[in-house]
Amino acid sequence: MNKNILITGANGFIGSFLVEEATRRGFRVFAAVRKNSSQGFLAKSGANIVEVDYHSAANLAEVLRHHNINYIIHNAGLTKSPSPEELIRVNKELLVNLTEAVRSSGIQLKKLVFVSSLAAYGPADKQPDGIVKDSSQPNPVTHYGVSKLAAETYLRAQTDIPYVIIRPTAVYGPREKDMLNVFQLVNKRLNLQPGILGQKLTFIYVKDLVRLIMLAVESSVSHKAYFATDGHVYTGDAFPGFVSEYLRKKAIKVRIPLLLVKGLAFLTEKVSGMWDSYPIFNVNKVNELKAKSWNCDVSNLEKDLGFKAEYDLTKGIPETIEWYREHKWL
């Protein structure tokens, strides 16, 4: 049985773990990367590295046809940009190109798993029962979330494509850089708490997430979407609190008012702009910090996909710290 899988965004944080998990499960992995991009953690993965032009449906079709691809995980995307139009162009239009390539290539696609985000539906604040469900009215609060929702809306209309959508909440673990600053600050005995009191937050460890995605690939399920968390809802203090505990460093908690947070984000944007970059901590991102709850419904994961998280924060954070220390990131 042919088990050739194309993984886009394979040289990123989640993508590199996907390559490893798919290889472990016996798939022949084709790791899609942009031309001249860094191969990162793929160098020792044993995967077949394929340079692709995501903006060319014809190029993607040739890649699919040449390697006789049966499965696709579309993980490539853009998480931050000062331009909402660029986020749409990347996060929706790359998916459009990929589905058009599937049709024109003539391959027999068994599954396309699209890695979206909880940001596509937004927080639970405006949901009548205080939890985001697949049946909820989406309410994205960032340009990134809007772009992911646009991609989802397109994909849901492609009835001939056997897709599954996975919407992870905040993902952490080894190799992750965006949440690394929390570990680094706590390591310096500083616990910054931006946002409101009493936030309800959700997380998923990267190894759990990639296992869930592969279960979706291998399942008979199609034309469905799932939120992805570890099944727990945490207070805003929990993540830095566990980091402090496992680093064995008592950190001074400093709560930053939202008005000041927004001012700092604005300043960070301006300073980063001097180097033609755009920070993960930006003014639009503050909308997520204002949210009271990121609780979402994951009750169907075990029933439909046989998934139950193996990691909560008490298990995932120590493993992450160990990796950061080993690789001199912390």
Q: Please write the tens of the pLDDT for every residue from 7-44.
A: 999 999 999 999 999 999 999 999 999 887 777 777 77
Lowest mean pLDDT among 61-75, 161-175, 181-195: 181-195
265, pLDDT greater than 90: no
Going through 106-189 in order, the beta strands assigned E by DSSP cover 111-115, 163-168, 170-172
pLDDT tens digits for range 40-61: 777 777 789 999 999 999 999 9
The better pLDDT of the pair 28, 276 is held by 28
What confidence tens digit (pLDDT) does each residue in 189-220 have? 998 887 777 889 999 999 999 999 999 999 99
Q: Which two tokens stand for residue 27?
A: 């798939």
Please give the backbone phi and psi of residue 94, each rounded to the nearest 5 degrees, phi first. Answer: -65, -35
The Cα 120–Cα 167 span in angstroms is 8
Residue 1 has pLDDT above 80, yes or no: no
Q: Tell the burial category of 292 from Cβ atoms under 10 Å away from its Cβ (0-12, 13-18, 19+).
A: middle
Sorting pLDDT into bands at 50, 70 and 90, what band is 256?
Answer: confident
Check: pTM over 0.85? Answer yes or no.
yes
Q: Is the pLDDT of residue 270 over 70?
A: yes
Q: Are 261 and 229 in contact (CB under 8 A)?
A: no
Q: What is the pLDDT of residue 165?
A: 98
Task: Tell me the per-residue pLDDT of 68-119, one tens digit each, with 9 for 90 and over.
Answer: 999 999 999 999 888 899 999 999 999 999 999 999 999 999 999 999 999 9
For the chain, domains (ranges, CATH) are: 4-178+201-235+294-310 (3.40.50.720)
**Confidence at residue 218, expressed as pLDDT on a 0 to 100 scale:** 97
User: For residue 186, is pLDDT > 90?
Assistant: yes
Alpha helix stretches (DSSP H) within 219-285 = 238-247, 258-273
